[in-house]
């Protein structure tokens, strides 16, 4: 199969949100900490009506309908998520309700889990399936769905919620350069969910930042080495048009890109202009560990990287800044921002993506974009996703109400025998929502 990759994409996020500026004031954080310090603008969250299952039902139905895909044409369905509702029954099996109705139960695939990386694992599984001898000619479908919620404290503003669906096949406008990939996997306790009675993670924020940056360096190194073997020349930032990062909060994305610039400098100082070289030279002798600790290096490299950040990264930041961390969906929501902003101008361009999941697993990989044929064209994908419309139709909540909803969700987590308010006034038509969890913990959903 040629040009295997993503044919179509759609995204769904709840319409309920809170402005970071408002949350910052409510939490008693210093002014600018969440907005400038973390680089976040707004955060979306699930109310009692929505969860990872309802969001994925919504996004899958929407994708099939808007691109005119016959549900019988799906041969593999993979879900990435780290939001545990059931320790055995996969989210994928809930999604089978959509396909059973059309008589299609012949669909491989289950859920993949490792923090924010599960979506990437699911995506690779589907791409590999289409490239393999077990492929039966039908489409793959990948769903990334998460509700990111944290206990009260410094991590709370880095929450968010969304589901992304991606249709996988050949002759795709967004094709994988499968040979151009680098992974870094290791054992770390930076962010994990050992308490099965709580939806909240245990998180060592500072450690998670340095694990992320170390994984980034390692993946970039592996990717560069593979490129050099294949192409017989060095890889540098100038070999890709855009860089897309897993985005827990925007400040980490700024730091990540600056880190890649520093990597290029260390590998080949002459790839940077004189002014940039001069600013980075004082850090050339730092050891690896020292380089992660150095605030001066962080500042200098961010300053040097700024013009390239504006060109190669800024267009990928809209949805993550407005919606928050969407865990498995976060990287793909950043990529969606790029498609939304640049659509058909991406024809012929290479885009590099970096996926990170705490614990830890990470991969950097490469995509080649082409305009493609309707309905699978970059411009049609941008139109179908309607990012502007979805962002505009959100409803802002005051912080007291947000906190109250978080408390209710804490109480409901893992619970049974309750019905929800079924008040769908804030949901867009076509949105699935939770109506009831019965005495056997069985969950029931309706569609608005
Ligand atoms: N104005 C402007 N900037 C400010 C202000 C202010 N008033 N106050 C603080 N800042 C800056 C800080 O200088 C810092 O920026 P810097 O890193 O460039 O120096 C930034 O705001 C954050 O401030 P910290 O004091 O470092 O924040 P804190 O430690 O309280 O929390 C953290 C931040 C660790 C990211 C926390 O939100 C967290 O734990 N989040 C969850 C973990 C996470 O997302 N990790 C990322 C990878 S793993 C994953 O994806 C889950």
Tally of structural domains, the chain: 1
Residue ID of nearest Cα to ligand 1 atom 49: 248
Identify the CATH number of the domain in which residue 178 sits.
3.40.47.10
Q: What is the pLDDT of residue 1?
A: 63
Q: Work out which ligand 1 atom sits closest to the CA atom of 116.
A: 50
The residue whose CB lies within 8 Å of the most ligand 1 atoms, and thus the one to mutate among 154, 200, 252, 359, is 154
Q: What is the pLDDT of residue 217?
A: 98
| Average pLDDT for 84-107 | 97
What is residue 201's DSSP assignment? P
**Interval between CA 39 and ligand 1 midpoint (Å):** 9
Q: Work out which ligand 1 atom sits closest to the CA atom of 190.
A: 48
Domain that holds residue 282: 5-447
**Interval between CA 87 and ligand 1 midpoint (Å):** 31
Sequence-distant (≥ 6) Cβ neighbours of residue 195 within 8 angstroms: 202
Return d(Cα 223, Cα 351) in angstroms, integer.
13
Sequence-distant (≥ 6) Cβ neighbours of residue 27 within 8 angstroms: 156, 157, 399
Instruction: Tell me which residues are annotated as active site.
Output: 82, 116, 246
Distance of CA 242 to the CA centre of its chain: 16
The residue whose CB lies within 8 Å of the most ligand 1 atoms, and thus the one to mutate among 116, 148, 158, is 158
CA-based end-to-end distance of the chain: 39
* Residue 315 pLDDT > 70: yes
Do residues 250 and 227 make contact, with C-beta atoms less than 8 angstroms apart? Answer: no
Q: Work out which ligand 1 atom sits closest to the CA atom of 31.
A: 7
Return d(Cα 250, Cα 134) in angstroms, integer.
40
Residue ID of nearest Cα to ligand 1 atom 45: 208
Query: Whole-prediction pTM value?
Result: 0.98
Residue-wise pLDDT tens digits, 9-44: 999 999 999 999 999 999 999 999 999 999 999 999
* Residue 365 pLDDT > 90: yes
**Interval between CA 54 and ligand 1 midpoint (Å):** 31
- CA-based nearest residue to 387, from 344, 357, 343, 438: 343
Return d(Cα 368, Cα 357) in angstroms, integer.
24
Q: What is the pLDDT of residue 350?
A: 98
Average pLDDT score, the chain? 97
Helix (H) or strand (E) holding 408: helix 399-412
Helix, strand, coil abundance in the chain, percent, nearest 5:
45, 20, 35
Helix (H) or strand (E) holding 330: helix 330-342
| Average pLDDT for 56-72 | 98
**What percentage of residues in the chain have a pLDDT greater than 90?**
98
Q: What is the pLDDT of residue 89?
A: 98
Residue ID of nearest Cα to ligand 1 atom 22: 37
- Residues forming a β-bridge with 244: 353
What is residue 349's DSSP assignment? -
Q: What is the pLDDT of residue 256?
A: 98
* Residue 180 pLDDT > 80: yes
Q: Work out which ligand 1 atom sits closest to the CA atom of 204.
A: 39
What is the DSSP code string of 56-103?
HHHHHHHHHHHTT--GGGEEEEEEE----S-SSS-HHHHHHHHHHTTT
**Interval between CA 96 and ligand 1 midpoint (Å):** 40
**What percentage of residues in the chain have a pLDDT greater than 70?**
100
Taking CB atoms and a 6 Å cutoff, what residues make up the pocket around ligand 1? 30-33, 36-38, 116, 154-155, 158, 191, 203, 205, 208-209, 212, 248, 251-252, 325, 358
Q: What is the pLDDT of residue 271?
A: 87
Residue-wise pLDDT tens digits, 213-254: 999 999 999 999 999 999 999 999 999 999 999 999 999 999
* Residue 207 pLDDT > 80: yes
Q: 3-class SS at 231?
A: helix
Return d(Cα 389, Cα 378) in angstroms, integer.
18
Return d(Cα 288, Cα 297) in angstroms, integer.
12
Alpha carbon distances (Å) from 239 to 142, 243, 277, 363: 28, 11, 19, 18
| Average pLDDT for 153-181 | 97
**Interval between CA 209 and ligand 1 midpoint (Å):** 9
Contacts 24+ apart (CB under 8 A), 336-341: 336/9, 336/11, 336/164, 336/385, 336/387, 337/387, 338/242, 338/244, 339/9, 339/378, 339/381, 339/382, 339/385, 340/382, 340/385, 340/387, 340/388, 341/315
Q: How many helices and strands in the chain, by DSSP H and E?
A: 14, 17
Do residues 421 and 49 make contact, with C-beta atoms less than 8 angstroms apart? Answer: yes
Return d(Cα 279, Cα 422) in angstroms, integer.
58
* Residue 134 pLDDT > 90: yes
- Beginning with the edge strand found earlier in the chain, give each strand of the sheet holding 42-44 in spatial order: 42-44, 16-19, 395-396
- Number of alpha carbons in the 13 Å side-chain half-sphere of residue 70: 5
Residue ID of nearest Cα to ligand 1 atom 14: 37
**Interval between CA 38 and ligand 1 midpoint (Å):** 5
What is the four-CA torsion angle of 208, 212, 218, 220, rounded to 10 degrees?
180
Residue-wise pLDDT tens digits, 401-422: 999 999 999 999 999 999 999 9
């Amino acid at each position: 199969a040629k040009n295997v990759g993503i044919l179509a994409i759609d995204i769904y996020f709840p319409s309920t949100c809170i402005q970071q500026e408002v949350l910052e004031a409510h939490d008693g954080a210093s002014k600018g900490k969440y907005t400038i310090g973390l680089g976040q603008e707004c955060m979306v969250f699930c109310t009692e009506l929505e969860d990872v299952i309802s969001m994925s039902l919504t996004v899958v139905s929407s994708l099939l309908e808007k691109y005119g895909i016959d549900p019988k044409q799906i041969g593999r369905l993979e879900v990435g998520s780290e939001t545990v509702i059931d320790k055995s029954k996969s989210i994928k099996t809930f999604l089978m309700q959509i396909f059973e109705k059309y008589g299609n139960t012949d669909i491989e695939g289950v859920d993949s889990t490792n923090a924010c990386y599960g979506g990437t694992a699911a995506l690779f599984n589907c791409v590999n399936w289409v490239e393999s001898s077990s492929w039966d000619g039908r489409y793959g479908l990948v769903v990334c769905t998460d509700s990111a919620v944290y206990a009260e404290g410094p991590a709370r503003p880095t929450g968010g919620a969304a589901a992304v669906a991606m249709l996988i096949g050949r002759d795709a406008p967004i094709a994988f350069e499968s040979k151009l990939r680098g992974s870094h996997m290791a054992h770390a306790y930076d962010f994990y969910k050992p308490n099965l009675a709580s939806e909240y993670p245990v998180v060592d924020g500072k450690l998670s930042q340095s694990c992320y940056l170390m994984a980034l360096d390692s993946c970039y190194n592996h990717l560069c080495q593979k490129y050099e073997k294949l192409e017989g020349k060095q890889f540098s930032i100038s070999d890709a048009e855009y860089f897309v990062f897993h985005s827990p909060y925007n400040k980490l994305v700024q730091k990540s890109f600056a880190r890649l610039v520093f990597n290029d400098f260390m590998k080949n100082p002459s790839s940077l202009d004189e002014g940039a070289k001069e600013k980075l030279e004082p850090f050339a002798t730092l050891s690896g560990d020292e380089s992660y600790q150095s605030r001066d290096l962080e500042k200098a490299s961010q300053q040097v990287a700024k013009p390239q950040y504006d060109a190669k990264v800024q267009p990928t930041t809209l949805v993550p800044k407005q919606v928050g961390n969407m865990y498995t969906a976060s990287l793909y929501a950043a990529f969606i921002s790029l498609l939304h902003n640049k659509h058909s101008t991406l024809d012929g361009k290479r885009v590099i993506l970096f996926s990170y999941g705490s614990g830890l697993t990470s991969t950097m990989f490469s995509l080649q974009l082409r305009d493609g044929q309707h309905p699978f064209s970059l411009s049609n994908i941008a139109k179908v996703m309607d990012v502007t419309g979805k962002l505009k139709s959100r409803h802002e909540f005051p912080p007291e109400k947000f906190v109250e909803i978080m408390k209710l969700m804490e109480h409901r987590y893992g619970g049974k025998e309750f019905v929800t308010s079924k008040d769908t006034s804030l949901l867009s038509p076509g949105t699935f929502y939770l109506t009831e969890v019965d005495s056997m913990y069985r969950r029931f959903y309706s569609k608005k």
